[in-house]
Amino acid sequence: MTTLAAPPRDNTVAGVMRRVPWRASVVYIGFVLVFAFFSITQTEYFLTSTNLTNIVVQAAPITVMAIGAVLVLGIGAIDLSIGSTVALAALSTAVVLETTGSWWIAAVAGLVVGAAVGATNGFFITVMRLPSFLVTLASMGLIAGLARQLTDLQSVPVLDSTFVWLFGGGSLLGVPILIWWTVAAALVGWHVLRQRRFGAHVLAVGNNPRAAQVSGILVNRVKMAVFIVSGMTAALAGILYDGRLGGARYTLGEADLMTVLAAVIVGGTALTGGKASIVGAVAGSLLMSMINNGLILSGLNVSQQMIVRGAIILIAVSLSLRGKKSQ
């Protein structure tokens, strides 16, 4: 038998405390603490089922984007262009819906825009071998410009009732459709990352690209696929905004990049690649939504909300990244 005996377990309180993977648990502990805090300070409204449902519904676009971001960070890259892709895809979808009147052609058009953005990012990152940070920083600005150009800064209404039901206001079996979208995105993301060979390859590429390459993994193909997925999840988020808000505007998704990255990092996905968690990212996204909701209920004005939210994200992210070196 070659198995070594495990060292005896230290079952004192200190020993048990030491075994808890704190860094991976930050998001869940934070979730409980923030929930408890708002429950106590906001008794009247925060705990109503309407409000709790609202927290999950509001989180839908962020959660969908977070799935793509988990994969991107998983390969050790970053996609800064997702926020502006939301706006471009949302506007494209709304414009196509207005001209064709077909909800599904509009949705497909939005997704194609997202895929094209992802493929363009992927091209510069794989073929031109540029760092994803620089490529997506540039495309972020470029796409924001395109979104403004597309309708000349005008908003586009989304009136099609099927579209609005399916991507915004509908509900199925008493559960809001946006929660179904969230659950579906999370399940697909989890399946891809944990159960498919592709997910294993994503993590291998992020952890040790050379090992992945000499093991026969087509590193560039994996990177390209991940950026296309990231563009498409951003586009889907844009479509969900279209449905929920009943229209598209170039400002959509403006603040989402920070929220998505915060959700994903707090959820235990490493910025350095190779370590990623879908479940953590979903929890992170719900946490961000809850913080947002609680701050609004607290009666803070928009600038105060931004300050407090930024501070909370900073604390949460430093807690989840602290001690990384020593691990």
Partner 1 sequence: MTATPTITSPLRLAGISKQFGAVTAIQQFDLEIEPGEIVALVGDNGAGKSTLVKIISGLYQPTNGEIWISGERAELSDPSDARARGVEVVYQDLALVDLQPVYMNLFLGRELTRGPLRTLDRARMARETQELVDELDIRIPSARAQLSDLSGGQRQGIAIARATHWASGLVLMDEPTAALGVAETARVEETILKLKERGAAVLIVSHNMEQVFRVADRVTVLRRGTQVGTRVVSETSHNELVAMITGLAS
135 alpha-carbon distance from chain centroid: 19
Here's the x/- map for partner 1, 168-197, by CB under 8 A: it reads as: -----------------------x--xxxx
Helices 219-245 and 103-126: angle between axes, nearest 10 degrees: 150
Q: What SS3 state is found at 67?
A: helix
Rounded distance between C-alpha atoms, residue 103 and residue 106, angstroms:
5
Residue 207 interacting with partner 1 (CB under 8 A): yes
Residue 275 interacting with partner 1 (CB under 8 A): yes
Residue 324 interacting with partner 1 (CB under 8 A): no
User: CB of residue 220 vs partner 1: minimum separation in angstroms?
Assistant: 12
User: CB of residue 326 vs partner 1: minimum separation in angstroms?
Assistant: 12
**Helix, strand, coil percent content, the chain, rounded in steps of 5:** 75, 0, 25
Q: Is 258 exposed, middle or buried (0-12, 13-18, 19+ CB in 10 A)?
A: middle
Residue 213 interacting with partner 1 (CB under 8 A): yes
Strand-pair partners of 156: 248
Residue 216 interacting with partner 1 (CB under 8 A): yes
Nearer to partner 1, 135 or 217 (CB): 217
Residue 325 interacting with partner 1 (CB under 8 A): no
Nearer to partner 1, 9 or 152 (CB): 9
Residue 2 interacting with partner 1 (CB under 8 A): yes
Nearer to partner 1, 2 or 50 (CB): 2
Closest C-alpha to 39, from 297, 222, 284: 297
Residue 219 interacting with partner 1 (CB under 8 A): no
Rounded distance between C-alpha atoms, residue 57 and residue 296, angstroms:
16
Strand-pair partners of 325: none
Q: Which stretch binds partner 1 (CB under 8 A): 1-9, 37-45, 57-65, 308-316?
A: 1-9
- 230-250 as b/e: b if 16+ CB within 10 A: bbbbbbbbbbbbbbbbebbbb
Residue 18 interacting with partner 1 (CB under 8 A): no
Closest C-alpha to 193, from 170, 225, 165, 149: 225
Q: Which stretch binds partner 1 (CB under 8 A): 9-17, 60-68, 111-119, 213-221?
A: 213-221
* List of residues 6+ apart from 140 with CB closer than 8 A: 80, 81, 83, 84, 257
Contact 79, 227 (CB under 8 A): yes
Residue 126 interacting with partner 1 (CB under 8 A): no
User: CB of residue 224 vs partner 1: minimum separation in angstroms?
Assistant: 17
Nearer to partner 1, 129 or 197 (CB): 197
Q: What SS3 state is found at 163?
A: helix
Q: Which stretch binds partner 1 (CB under 8 A): 91-99, 134-142, 207-215, 251-259?
A: 207-215
Binder of partner 1 out of 122, 168, 274, 280 (CB under 8 A): 274
Q: Which stretch binds partner 1 (CB under 8 A): 11-19, 46-54, 204-212, 237-245?
A: 204-212
Residue 203 interacting with partner 1 (CB under 8 A): yes
Contact residues toward partner 1 (CB under 8 A) are: 1-4, 6, 191, 194-197, 199-201, 203-204, 207-208, 210-217, 274-275
